[in-house]
Chains A and B, each alone.
Chain A
Amino acid sequence: SAKSKVHIVYLGEKQHDDPEFVTESHHQMLSSLLGSKDDAHKSMVYSYRHGFSGFAAKLTKSQAKKIADSPEVIHVIPDGYYELA
């Protein structure tokens, strides 16, 4: 249960035009969850910061549940797959 898996944390429309600022806010959110900037940096897979706001990060189930409870988070889901058509 403590195994980390990639989760997508979706925050909706981005709240700032500067992508660096958006990414920084993602790192901050992840740092507060994981307890350190270093852990946040290691966990972060992607910061979605141009068309919308969100990030992909390696999280345990309990971490995913905790961040899903944040008011600014719309959805947290484990990564999944599409196939070619």
Chain B
Amino acid sequence: TTRTWDYLGLSADNSKNLLNDKNMGDQTIIGVIDTGVWPESESFNDNGVGPIPSHWKGGCEPGENFISTNCNRKLIGAKYFINGFLAENQGFNTTESPDYISARDFDGHGTHVASTVGGSLVPNVSYKGLAKGTLRGGAPRARIAMYKACWYLNELDGVTCSFSDIMKAIDEAIHDGVDVLSLSLGGRIPLNSETDLRDGIATGAFHAVSKGIVVVCAGGNAGPASQTVVNTAPWIVTVAATTLDRSFATPIILGNNQVILGQAMYTGPELGFTSLVYPEDPGNSYDTFSGVCESLNLNPNHTMAGKVVLCFTTARDYAVVSRAASLVKAAGGLGLIIARNPGYNLAPCSDDFPCVAIDYELGTDILFYIRYTGSPVVKIQPSRTLVGEPVGTKVATFSSRGPNSISPAILKPDITAPGVSILAATSPNKNLNAGGFVMLSGTSMAAPVISGVIALLKSLHPDWSPAAFRSAIVTTAWRTDPFGEQIFAEGSSQKVADPFDYGGGLVNPEKAAEPGLIYDMGPQDYILYLCSAGYNESSISLLVGKVTVCSNPKPSVLDINLPSITIPNLKDEVTLTRTVTNVGPVNSVYKVVVEPPLGVRVAVTPATLVFNSKTKSVSFRVRVSTKHKINTGYLFGSLTWTDSVHNVVIPVSVRTQILQNYYDEN
């Protein structure tokens, strides 16, 4: 977070921005359901934070290494939920577990999320000199309530969160009076329906949203494959992850003086010119050789001892880098250069071992240098932080992609925010932490950015519905980076990002503060959605707590008042409706501007919307027809209402399906 907020235009130095206008989110309470919190972190100091908001009804629950005075005016709530986990894992030994049976965070993930969403200002934070700056949350004076429902398990060397504990955490958060609920958790595809308790987050979130609480969830880390996004219920704000305009350039200097800038978090001393090897059979050996990063252990140690090793991998996960570095180090090697496709999950190798990532093209350059040079050598310099231009913004490879596999007409993810190499507070138990701060990547890191922005917006618009906040951030989002350059999306080849990568785009907090128009929704709209999705009336009635009768014929899912239009199966022509509510100047006139998807006709009536003191909301119809004669993929456009001050943009995504319900693999 030492770069996130400046990048998004919420610099603390600018006295006139949303951040400072709304006293940094003071009086807003953000609930976080996660692995707990490290309360002593500087991120949770309450300097300059006012009294606890009067609507707070929660508390600070004591437990192992956690006393009620660990809370303060910043961290106002801390509770833990382990009964479900314990009841199902009776062999779990709470005394032997390294995790704390309290809201105290062992893993560090929850602390990272909490400090990103609403941490106080902490100047001069860095990871061993990298990413230096002032660390802070999106709403630095908002209050944080931690609900710990995720537990570290030795056997997994990871964290697990049971549905029953999460549902209790949501239940308590609703009671305690949180304004925003941030969940950096998720399941996996196939998704469960929204009325099926197997999606406990969707069920709990429904009740939270019905009570005016904005629920923000991570969209998942199963990208770049399509249809992998999770937490897709239309009442949830689902978040994708991008990079920042920041990288950790690491000079690799070859013996022929060619300089290649790789990526690493190498903070050790410069490695002077050292022999460079790509492990391969020299043609006269009975030994086995492998230049594949995962198989470096097949190489005789003497091949790598005292050298920098080049290897290639098709894997994108950091574990491969870490394992390969360990193998090289164990063989007496001095450094590692990994050629791979970008995975956007850079991390330092342990013990400051130099390990640098490059792409296949640069990897092949180095390979040819090795093959065609008598004594190849290389120098590796420490990583440097590169900020701003020319570093472009990318949707991270890992960020889960739409379309939504339950209801493709409901665009997911909704929005994107930085979630790659984010430096924030953590537990001192966390591997690779530096002074209680660590760099992490994931949609887990992007979701609290959106929660923090919504906390600021909530201070400005306390009466808005959760859907209004979603609309405001989606319709005003950047579809370029903040400098006007295109956002790319990593996949099997890099492409220009589209709504299935980033929803409305990259969150633009300043613009979201005054969106002009909003696509509002309330519980009745969610009922319409449930009816349109075919859920039976008795389930819907019990979910919403009142007798519900769906109209006959059923409402169309295309008419759900989302700030997006997604038509997954257009055959001839379809007409849909949206309603916009004026939240700008009372007397306003908006005109429509349509950028239709290629080969698709989009007609909007009326083409002008007039608002005054009597007319706050106006509906319009959108007629969409296709010129295509074949089943196409999704094509993208946009629909904008503009009064020349506000541009209220929604993404339009259309797939022509002449043959319906057809799986194409010809």
Contact = CB atoms under 8 A, between A and B. Distances in A.
4 nearest A-B residue pairs (beta carbon): A13-B545, A51-B174, A12-B542, A50-B175
Contact of B163 (A13, A50, A81): A81
Nearest to A11: B542
Contact of B211 (A8, A51, A56): A51
A75 B197 contact: yes
B242 to A, nearest CB: 15
A5 B90 CA distance: 11
B144 interface: no
Interface string A1-43: 0000110101111110001000000000000000000000000
Contact of B166 (A54, A77, A82): A82
Contact of A8 (B173, B197, B221): B197
Given A8-B197, A12-B544, A77-B198, A84 B168 contact: no
Contacts of A10: 197, 203
Interface residues of B, number: 57
Contacts of A46: 81, 83-84, 164, 167-168, 171
A80 B191 CA distance: 13
A85 B446 CA distance: 10
Given A5-B88, A54-B167, A56-B167, A82 B187 contact: yes
Contact of A83 (B88, B164, B186): B186
Contact of A49 (B158, B171, B211, B542): B171
A48 B35 CA distance: 21
A6 B164 contact: yes
B204 interface: yes
Nearest to A19: B175
Given A10-B203, A14-B545, A75-B195, 4 more contacts: A6-B164, A8-B197, A79-B163, A79-B164
A45 B197 contact: no
A13 B171 CA distance: 12
A51 B163 contact: no
Contacts of A49: 171
A72 to B, nearest CB: 8
Given A6-B88, A12-B543, A51-B204, A81 B162 contact: yes
12 contacts: A12-B543, A56-B164, A79-B162, A80-B198, A82-B166, A83-B158, A83-B159, A84-B34, A84-B184, A84-B185, A85-B186, A85-B220
Contacts of B456: none
Given A13-B543, A14-B545, A82 B175 contact: no
A51 B88 contact: no
Contacts of A6: 84, 87-88, 162, 164
Contacts of B184: 84-85
A52 B203 contact: yes
B200 A85 contact: no
Interface string B201-238: 10110011001000000111100000000000000000
Contacts of A80: 162-163, 187, 198, 200
B204 A45 contact: no
Interface of B: 34-35, 81, 83-84, 87-88, 107, 109, 150, 158-164, 166-168, 170-175, 184-188, 195-198, 200-201, 203-204, 207-208, 211, 218-221, 442-444, 447, 539, 541-546
Interface of A: 5-6, 8, 10-15, 19, 45-46, 48-52, 54, 56, 58, 72, 74-77, 79-85
Contacts of B443: 85
Nearest to B447: A85
Contacts of A84: 34-35, 107, 109, 150, 158-159, 161, 184-185, 442, 444
A39 B52 CA distance: 41
Contacts of B107: 84
Nearest to B174: A51
Contacts of B162: 6, 79-82
A15 to B, nearest CB: 8
A4 B312 CA distance: 49
Given A50-B174, A50-B175, A75-B197, A82 B542 contact: no
A2 to B, nearest CB: 16
A54 B602 CA distance: 46
A11 B542 CA distance: 7
A56 B168 contact: yes
Contacts of A76: 197
Nearest to B160: A81
Interface centre among B159, B163, B541 (most CB of A within 10 A): B163
Nearest to A81: B160
Given A8-B167, A46-B167, A74 B159 contact: no
Contacts of A81: 160-163
A26 to B, nearest CB: 12
